[in-house]
């Protein structure tokens, strides 16, 4: 079976978030199951030939490799992709994103035929590639080369839909009649994700709970009606982790490697190095809370800012790594300046620091107000770092509340989205941290969680087979 992944980001080539992690790791897990997988990705400026050997096939496409034999095709177009960043720069999203990603979708389809690739399933990801199922049916359908190809659209985050002004519609090269409420039209604008949901043979999303949530008004981001109309084709499959990239026993980016057998001292060593790197005083007996993520409303930065003052008054430290909204950066900087011994911040996208925070923190704060799956809490658990999360989406599917009597569970969940409820849970975590025996049992529980891709990749393999 030949599976083609089409995505706007893939680790280790380019990454802005979990989408890249998933599109780098799931193909590897499918390859281990014996499937033929290839990947299509735009050839961005950040993909450096000295890090990833590139073979130029022709003017439209170059090739590199992932895993044993996964061919990674990079669609070339300097005017669209040879710029800073993937989707925008400091002033915001690029105004020609519709053009950039429709080009990617169309070229990808054309290159298949040009290279005579055998494609059984095309697995698309988010709005950037949602045009592929539409093009396959509306533009390429009459060509027998494309007959029988089945389409899967994976929604990583429904909050990003690819919405563009109606005037840009001719750029898509599709019939005018398709601009209607049953296809592209969304309150007078173009909505690429909506059209992709309608045209795909199968829609998947990244956790079971999120699959249900997005069919409700509260989490449906205006597409709950469309999603409900396709409820029989929607399935939630939990994301996994690349357990080679995220492995405290082998991680080359952390100060001291450790396992569930020797974490007690070695994790402390990572904590000391982390504190030093963030210029915080070393304090073994107090917990360090980490945060790694986009500085956005979704990730709960507003809520975090509301409890930070109270947290800084307790015996603990907080370390924040992220990029995002200016307002959040300003307020976090202020907090850190006011509490130099307690709070440290770094505004960057920095893979190494992220690994060091997962390894060196005792707990990870993840108060997302919605979270399709969330990888950070799973990574934290793999590093024996205990997540404190809001009970939503994939966070609710992966974090089990720790019960200090039965000693069952792997983290802390708050159920009411208020600063008070968040703070109560943080205080509960601090209390458990103070009881060394209980906390080390909790860390052991975390190490026992299995978030590898193996199980979910098997579910995808069955889903592909059923589609064919």
> Residues 21, 76, 362, 397: which binds ligand ADP (CB under 6 A)?
21
Q: Which stretch binds ligand ADP (CB under 6 A): 13-21, 53-61, 197-205, 433-441?
A: 13-21
Is 264 or 348 the residue whose CB approaches ligand ADP more closely? 348
> Residues 96, 110, 233, 350: which binds ligand ADP (CB under 6 A)?
350
Is 5 or 439 the residue whose CB approaches ligand ADP more closely? 5
Is 287 or 393 the residue whose CB approaches ligand ADP more closely? 393
Is 18 or 367 the residue whose CB approaches ligand ADP more closely? 18
Asked if 37 and 69 touch (Cβ cutoff 8 Å), the reply is no
Is 61 or 153 the residue whose CB approaches ligand ADP more closely? 153
Question: Min. distance of Cβ 366 from ligand ADP in angstroms?
Answer: 8
Residue 248 binds ligand ADP, judged by CB under 6 A: no
> Residues 12, 17, 401, 419: which binds ligand ADP (CB under 6 A)?
17
* Residue found under tokens 């802005």: 16
Alpha helices in 158-236 (DSSP H): 192-199, 208-213, 224-229
Question: Min. distance of Cβ 387 from ligand ADP in angstroms?
Answer: 11
Query: Looking at the DSSP assignment, which residues form a beta bridge with residue 203?
Result: 153, 234
* Residue found under tokens 């008070």: 420
DSSP at 10: B
Dihedral pair phi/psi, residue 185, rounded to 5°:
-75, 135
Is 17 or 67 the residue whose CB approaches ligand ADP more closely? 17
DSSP at 384: T
Alpha helices in 285-345 (DSSP H): 301-312, 326-338
> Among residue numbers 126 through 165, which ones bind ligand ADP (CB under 6 A)?
157
For the CA atoms of 367, 371, 375, 376, the dihedral, rounded to the nearest 10 degrees, stands at -10
Distance, in Å, from the CA atom of 52 to the CA atom of 263, rounded to the nearest integer, reads 34
> Among residue numbers 378 through 397, which ones bind ligand ADP (CB under 6 A)?
379
Query: Looking at the DSSP assignment, which residues form a beta bridge with residue 3?
Result: 37, 121
Is 133 or 394 the residue whose CB approaches ligand ADP more closely? 394
Q: What is the CA radius of gyration of the chain?
A: 23
Distance, in Å, from the CA atom of 293 to the CA atom of 1, rounded to the nearest integer, reads 36
Distance, in Å, from the CA atom of 406 to the CA atom of 200, rounded to the nearest integer, reads 46
Is 316 or 395 the residue whose CB approaches ligand ADP more closely? 395
Distance, in Å, from the CA atom of 424 to the CA atom of 418, rounded to the nearest integer, reads 10
Question: Min. distance of Cβ 187 from ligand ADP in angstroms?
Answer: 25
> Among residue numbers 361 through 380, which ones bind ligand ADP (CB under 6 A)?
373-376, 379
Half-sphere exposure of 410 (CA within 13 A, CB side): 23
Is 394 or 409 the residue whose CB approaches ligand ADP more closely? 394
Residue 245 binds ligand ADP, judged by CB under 6 A: no
Question: Min. distance of Cβ 53 from ligand ADP in angstroms?
Answer: 25
Is 19 or 198 the residue whose CB approaches ligand ADP more closely? 19
Q: Which two tokens stand for residue 75?
A: 């669609």
Longest CA span, the chain: 68
Residue 419 binds ligand ADP, judged by CB under 6 A: no
Query: Looking at the DSSP assignment, which residues form a beta bridge with residue 236?
Result: 205
Question: Min. distance of Cβ 423 from ligand ADP in angstroms?
Answer: 23
Is 372 or 409 the residue whose CB approaches ligand ADP more closely? 372
> Residues 14, 234, 280, 354: which binds ligand ADP (CB under 6 A)?
354
> Residues 154, 237, 292, 344: which binds ligand ADP (CB under 6 A)?
292
Q: Which stretch binds ligand ADP (CB under 6 A): 98-106, 271-279, 345-353, 420-428?
A: 345-353
* Cβ-Cβ contacts under 8 Å for 221 (sequence gap 6 or more): 158, 159, 161, 214
Dihedral pair phi/psi, residue 345, rounded to 5°:
-135, 150
Distance, in Å, from the CA atom of 345 to the CA atom of 324, rounded to the nearest integer, reads 13
Question: Min. distance of Cβ 351 from ligand ADP in angstroms?
Answer: 5
- Prior bond of 382 cis (ω within 30°): no
Asked if 186 and 194 touch (Cβ cutoff 8 Å), the reply is yes
Q: Total residues at the site for ligand ADP (CB under 6 A)?
A: 20
* Cβ-Cβ contacts under 8 Å for 218 (sequence gap 6 or more): none
* Residue found under tokens 């690029």: 94
Is 36 or 350 the residue whose CB approaches ligand ADP more closely? 350
Q: Which stretch binds ligand ADP (CB under 6 A): 34-42, 171-179, 291-299, 401-409?
A: 291-299
> Residues 18, 162, 248, 409: which binds ligand ADP (CB under 6 A)?
18
> Among residue numbers 294 through 323, which ones bind ligand ADP (CB under 6 A)?
294, 321-323
Chain residues binding ligand ADP by CB under 6 A are: 17-19, 21, 157, 292-294, 321-323, 349-351, 354, 373-376, 379
């Amino acid at each position: 079976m030949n599976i083609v992944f089409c995505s706007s980001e893939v680790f280790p080539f380019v990454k802005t978030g979990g989408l890249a992690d998933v599109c780098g790791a799931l193909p590897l897990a499918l390859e281990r199951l014996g499937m033929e997988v290839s990947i299509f990705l735009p050839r961005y400026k950040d993909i450096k030939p000295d890090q990833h050997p590139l073979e130029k096939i022709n003017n439209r496409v170059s090739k590199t490799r992932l895993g044993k034999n996964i061919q990674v095709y990079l669609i070339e177009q300097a005017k669209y992709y040879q710029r800073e960043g993937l989707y925008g720069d400091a002033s915001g999203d690029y105004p020609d994103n519709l053009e950039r990603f429709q080009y990617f979708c169309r070229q990808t389809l054309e290159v298949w035929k040009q290279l005579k690739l055998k494609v059984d399933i095309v697995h698309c990801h988010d709005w950037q590639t949602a045009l592929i199922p539409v093009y396959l049916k509306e533009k390429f359908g009459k060509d027998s080369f494309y007959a029988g190809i089945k389409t899967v659209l994976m929604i990583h985050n429904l909050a990003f839909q690819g919405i563009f002004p109606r005037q840009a519609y001719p750029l898509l090269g599709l019939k005018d009649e398709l601009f209607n409420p049953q296809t592209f039209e969304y309150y007078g604008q173009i909505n690429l994700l909506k059209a992709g949901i309608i045209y795909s043979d199968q829609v998947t999303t990244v956790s079971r709970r999120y699959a249900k949530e997005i069919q409700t008004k509260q989490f449906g981001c205006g597409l709950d009606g469309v999603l409900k109309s396709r409820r029989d084709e929607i399935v939630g499959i939990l994301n996994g982790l690349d357990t080679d990239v995220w492995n405290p026993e082998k991680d080359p980016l952390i100060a001291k490697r450790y396992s569930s057998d020797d974490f007690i001292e070695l994790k402390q060593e990572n904590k000391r190095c982390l504190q030093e790197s963030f210029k915080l005083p070393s304090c073994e007996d107090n917990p360090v809370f980490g945060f790694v993520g986009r500085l956005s409303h979704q990730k709960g930065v507003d809520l975090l800012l509301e409890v930070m003052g109270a947290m800084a008054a307790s015996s603990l430290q907080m370390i924040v790594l992220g990029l995002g909204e200016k307002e959040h950066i300003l307020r976090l900087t202020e907090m850190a300046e006011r509490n130099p011994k307690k709070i440290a911040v770094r505004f960057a996208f920095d893979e190494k620091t992220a690994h060091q925070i997962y390894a060196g923190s005792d707990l990870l704060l993840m108060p997302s107000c919605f979270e399709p799956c969330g990888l950070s809490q799973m990574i934290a658990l793999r590093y024996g770092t205990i997540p404190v999360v809001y009970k939503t989406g994939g966070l609710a599917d992966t974090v089990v509340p720790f019960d200090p009597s039965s000693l069952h569970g792997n983290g802390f969940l708050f159920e009411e989205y208020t600063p008070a409820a968040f703070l109560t849970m943080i205080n509960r975590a601090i209390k458990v941290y103070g009881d060394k025996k209980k906390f080390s049992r909790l860390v052991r529980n975390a190490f026992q969680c299995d978030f590898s891709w193996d199980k979910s990749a098997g579910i995808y393999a069955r889903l592909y087979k059923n589609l064919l």
